[in-house]
């Protein structure tokens, strides 16, 4: 099957209480599902939090994941997204000796900018679709990035 | 009212109508045990191991249909209980397991008898709680009982630090539950049910595939009616033994790895599987791609995650079996039972070709005879528990079950040591029935200390030890698949089981012949005390027929044909 290991984005609305994150991650590890990235933050003015999980698997596996997530007592809703807006942030540290103008221009093309300038390094930030972040990181490789950190994706259904 | 956390536990158990709990005290749970000492509302049965406390609670729950309650202390008390909790999780048994924990101030310091109990139980419970404030206890315990017993049942673990059981707080058990994230779906979709009934009416060779969910839903008598009205033959899973009565013409037998030839052939030939409360376990299906290959699938289950997990359901129905079967019954006139007579005939032919039987061709007793004999002598008057191994399969194959909740065995987890403590719980729940535990010479030693519990509490479980001086099921696989290399399965060195029973104040028998067996069973039943009946059986008897692991249901290893003596 062509989509045997297709990338999927799942949002999970959970009661924001102790150990709820372990319940989710234990489910993934215990049943042999894969987590590519996971982000979590409280939903403003509610007792819930929202997780965005990027995973991969066949339609059948994703259906199982969705059902198993639903079975967890503190889970309110599970969305498996088809049509969504997805963003991710990356922070990249460059030596100050690199071409800052080039880097700044590239960042601008990926909804980013130079966020911090220090004595020896600059830190750039970009915010874009995960695929475009992949692309950006490939391009800036020649500017000798010292450290890269990615946030994992957040997503909203259109 | 303002009471201590420990008193709250007692009040909650009383409010839930609990009449018996099973447990073992220790440091972190002492406040609660102090309150148990002061009350007379329920019985506490002291087992001699925490694992046994949970198995006893499981047996109690399975026999009574109520939530089983076990109580243990922190650290090793809890870790000993984990096997029982996992067993209940795999077999969907409603339990509330209450454990003590070290005081809040010591959590995370590697304190004496501290272990991250909720961290361990997370993956083998339906839900769990660490209670950090006594004011939450009423809500948590009420939720625990509700979650354990509703939807797909299962164990719920409540871990309570010692200072929380000492803390005084307001207690009001009449609080309304507000579980907006947990709403089990109990009513099946009427349109799906209608479609399923139409599919049944159209099918040429439909087959009921009955599972343990029917027992959990207390729907066996409704299912019996549905089977009778439609005239459709049925196979039972291991967990569903007793849903149909053994003398029901439409019951083929158990299916699966050690199911009957006819049951497995029926499943291979059917054109419509009607799965009720089943989960397509690997021990049932054999090779998945060959399982009921040309059949449509109706799957009714309360757990949506069970549906289309392993076998795609053409007619998925999420709901409580009892509700759904009642709706199916209303439409059962759509189905014409006469239509399936040739299908029933061909299943009868399968059964005549390779019936579920055994040969009495050795001097030693055959284990199957022992099971059949207990069935003849005690039948409906006994509840049957088992341990795990060959004896368990023989019991499932050969005992004449006549009612749901008569059969109590560890199916999903396959826990050796389950049988005796479970049978103690069964006897506590159902004292009017004789409590039989079929066990093996391997399994019985895994919880034989429970002789003390049974003797002390006068719960006269009769343990029938089918002794072949082998860890028999593993030995069978070694014989068949490991070229007879019987690695570490020869149990020739054994205790004197008669003396072992007597040492605890029970009664022991060692029998070699049919006459001796009859006399021993009669004596044990009459004396009504805890018994070990050690039956010396044929050493190399195999459980047959058999679908080798990963094989197809229709490719069974069969009992060799011999002239019957």
The string of pLDDT tens digits covering residues B351-360 is 999 999 999 9
| C-alpha–C-alpha distance, residues B85 and B122, integer Å | 11
Q: What is the mean pLDDT of residues B416-430?
A: 98
Shared-domain flag, residues B273 and B151: no
Whether B54 shows a pLDDT value over 90: the answer reads yes
A26 and B123 within 8 Å at the Cβ level: the answer is: yes
Q: Percentage of chain B with pLDDT > 90? A: 98
Confidence of residue A6 (pLDDT cuts 50, 70, 90): confident
Domain-embedded: residue B142:
yes
Question: How much is the pLDDT for B561?
Answer: 80
Domain-embedded: residue B24:
yes
Classify residue B372 by burial, with Cβ atoms within 10 Å: 0-12, 13-18, 19+: middle
| Structural domain harbouring B151 | 2-170
Note the pLDDT tens digit of each residue in B516-556.
Answer: 999 999 999 999 999 999 999 999 999 999 999 999 999 99
Shared-domain flag, residues B324 and B462: no
Note the pLDDT tens digit of each residue in A108-131.
Answer: 999 999 999 999 999 999 999 999
Question: Is B162 considered catalytic here?
Answer: yes
Q: What is the CATH number of the domain that holds B323?
A: 3.40.50.1220
A73 and B122 within 8 Å at the Cβ level: the answer is: no
Within chain A, residue ranges assigned H as helices are 20-30, 59-71, 100-109, 130-139
Question: Is B50 considered catalytic here?
Answer: yes
Shared-domain flag, residues B103 and B140: yes
Q: Does B304 touch chain A (CB under 8 A)?
A: yes
Shared-domain flag, residues B123 and B210: no
Domain-embedded: residue B555:
no
Residue where a domain stops, chosen among B328, B353, B378:
B353
Question: How much is the pLDDT for A5?
Answer: 80
Confidence of residue B560 (pLDDT cuts 50, 70, 90): confident
Domain-embedded: residue B526:
yes
| C-alpha–C-alpha distance, residues B53 and B41, integer Å | 19
Domain-embedded: residue B177:
no
Shared-domain flag, residues B431 and B307: no
Q: Which residue of B118, B119, B305 is in closest CB contact with A68? A: B305
Confidence of residue B565 (pLDDT cuts 50, 70, 90): very low
Q: Which residue of B119, B180, B303 is in closest CB contact with A76? A: B180
Question: Is B390 considered catalytic here?
Answer: no
Residue where a domain stops, chosen among B298, B319, B353:
B353
Shared-domain flag, residues B95 and B135: yes
**Of B388, B368, B349, which is closest to residue B261 (Cα–Cα)?**
B349
Shared-domain flag, residues B235 and B264: yes
A-chain CB neighbours of B182 within 8 Å are: 73
Shared-domain flag, residues B46 and B138: yes
B102, B163 contact by CB (below 8 A): no
* ipTM for the complex shown: 0.90
All structural domains of chain A:
7-82 (3.30.70.260), 85-157 (3.30.70.1150)
**Total domains present in chain B:** 3
Give the residues across from A113 on adjacent strands.
Answer: A125
Bridging pattern class, strands B2-4 and B168-170: antiparallel
Shared-domain flag, residues B59 and B153: yes
Domain-embedded: residue B184:
no
Question: Is B376 considered catalytic here?
Answer: no
Domain-embedded: residue B551:
no
| Residue in the block written with tokens 């549906």 | B307
Q: Which 3 state secondary structure label does DSSP give A67?
A: helix
Residue where a domain stops, chosen among B314, B330, B353:
B353
Question: Is B433 considered catalytic here?
Answer: no
Q: State the Rg of chain A over Cα.
A: 18
Q: At what angle do helices B50-64 and B76-90 cross, to 10 degrees?
A: 30
Note the pLDDT tens digit of each residue in B467-503.
Answer: 999 999 999 999 999 999 999 999 999 999 999 999 9
Q: Does A70 touch chain B (CB under 8 A)?
A: yes
Could you tell me how many CB contacts below 8 A there are between chain A and chain B?
36
DSSP 8-state symbol, B365: B
Q: Does B109 touch chain A (CB under 8 A)?
A: no
Chain A residue with minimum CA distance to B144: A73
Shared-domain flag, residues B424 and B294: no
Shared-domain flag, residues B500 and B439: yes
Shared-domain flag, residues B319 and B396: no
Q: What is the CATH number of the domain that holds B431?
A: 3.40.50.970
B22, B13 contact by CB (below 8 A): no
Question: How much is the pLDDT for B476?
Answer: 98
Domain-embedded: residue B185:
no
Q: Which 3 state secondary structure label does DSSP give B475?
A: helix
């Amino acid at each position: 099957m062509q989509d045997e290991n297709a990338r999927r984005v799942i949002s999970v609305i959970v009661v924001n209480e102790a150990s709820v994150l372990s319940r989710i991650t234990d489910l993934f590890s215990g049943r042999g599902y894969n987590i590519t990235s996971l982000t979590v933050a409280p939903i403003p003015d509610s007792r819930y939090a929202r997780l965005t999980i990027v995973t991969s698997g066949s339609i059948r596996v994703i259906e199982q994941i969705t059902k198993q997530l639903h079975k967890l007592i503190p889970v309110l809703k599970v969305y498996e997204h088809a049509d969504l807006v997805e963003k991710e942030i990356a922070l990249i540290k460059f030596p100050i000796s690199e071409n800052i103008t080039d880097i700044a221009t590239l960042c601008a093309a990926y909804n980013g900018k130079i966020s911090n300038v220090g004595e020896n390094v600059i830190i750039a930030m970009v915010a874009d679709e995960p695929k475009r972040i992949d692309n950006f990181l490939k391009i800036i490789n020649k500017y000798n990035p010292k450290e890269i950190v990615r946030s994992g994706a957040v997503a909203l259904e259109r | 009212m303002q009471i201590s956390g420990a008193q709250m536990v007692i009040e909650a158990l009383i409010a839930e109508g609990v009449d018996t709990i099973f447990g073992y005290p220790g440091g972190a749970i002492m406040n609660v045990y102090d309150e148990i000492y002061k009350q007379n509302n329920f019985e506490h049965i002291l087992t001699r191991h925490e694992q046994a406390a949970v198995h006893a609670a499981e047996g109690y729950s399975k026999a009574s249909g109520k939530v089983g309650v076990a109580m243990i202390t922190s650290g090793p008390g809890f870790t000993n209980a984990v096997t029982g909790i996992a067993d209940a999780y795999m077999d969907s048994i409603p339990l509330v397991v209450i454990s003590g924990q070290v005081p809040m101030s010591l959590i995370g310091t590697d304190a004496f008898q501290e272990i991250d109990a909720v961290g361990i139980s997370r993956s083998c419970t339906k839900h769990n709680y660490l209670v950090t404030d006594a004011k939450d206890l009423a809500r948590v315990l009420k939720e625990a009982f509700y979650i354990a017993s509703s939807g797909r049942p299962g164990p719920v673990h409540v871990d309570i630090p010692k200072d929380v059981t000492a803390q005084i707080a307001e207690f009001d058990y009449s609080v309304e539950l507000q579980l907006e994230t947990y709403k089990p779906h109990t009513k099946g979709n009427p349109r799906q049910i209608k479609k399923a009934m139409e599919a049944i009416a159209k099918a040429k060779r439909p087959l009921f595939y009955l599972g343990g969910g029917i027992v959990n839903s207390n729907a066996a008598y409704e299912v019996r009616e549905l089977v009778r009205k439609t005239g459709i033959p049925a196979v039972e899973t291991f967990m569903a033994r007793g849903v149909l009565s053994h003398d029901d013409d439409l019951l083929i037998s158990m299916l699966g790895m050690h199911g009957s030839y006819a049951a497995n052939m029926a499943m291979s030939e059917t054109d419509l599987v009607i799965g009720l409360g089943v989960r397509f376990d690997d021990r049932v299906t054999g090779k998945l791609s060959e399982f009921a290959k040309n059949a449509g699938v109706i799957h009714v289950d309360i757990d949506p995650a069970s549906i289309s997990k392993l076998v795609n359901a053409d007619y998925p129905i999420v709901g409580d079996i009892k509700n759904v079967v009642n709706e199916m019954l209303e439409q059962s006139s759509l189905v014409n039972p006469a239509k399936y007579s040739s299908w029933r005939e061909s299943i009868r032919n399968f059964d005549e070709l390779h019936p579920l039987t055994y040969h009495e061709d050795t001097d030693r007793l055959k284990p199957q005879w022992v099971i059949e004999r207990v069935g003849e002598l005690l039948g409906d008057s006994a509840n049957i528990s088992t341990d795990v191994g060959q004896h368990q399969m023989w019991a499932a194959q050969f005992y004449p079950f006549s009612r749901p909740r008569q059969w109590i065995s560890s199916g999903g987890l396959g826990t050796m040591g389950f049988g005796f403590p479970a049978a103690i719980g069964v006897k506590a729940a159902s004292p009017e029935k004789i409590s039989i535990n079929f066990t093996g010479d391997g399994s019985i030693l895994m919880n034989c200390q429970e002789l003390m519990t049974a003797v002390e509490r006068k719960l006269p479980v009769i343990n029938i030890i089918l002794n072949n001086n082998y860890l028999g099921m593993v030995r069978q696989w070694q014989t068949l698949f490991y070229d007879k290399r019987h690695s570490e399965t020869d149990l020739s060195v054994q205790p004197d089981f008669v003396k072992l029973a007597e040492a605890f104040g029970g009664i022991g028998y060692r029998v070699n012949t049919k006459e001796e067996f009859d006399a021993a069973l009669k004596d044990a039943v009459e004396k009504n005390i805890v018994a070990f009946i050690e039956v010396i059986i044929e050493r190399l008897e195999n459980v047959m027929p058999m679908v080798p692991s990963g094989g197809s249901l229709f490719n069974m290893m069969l009992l060799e044909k011999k002239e019957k003596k």
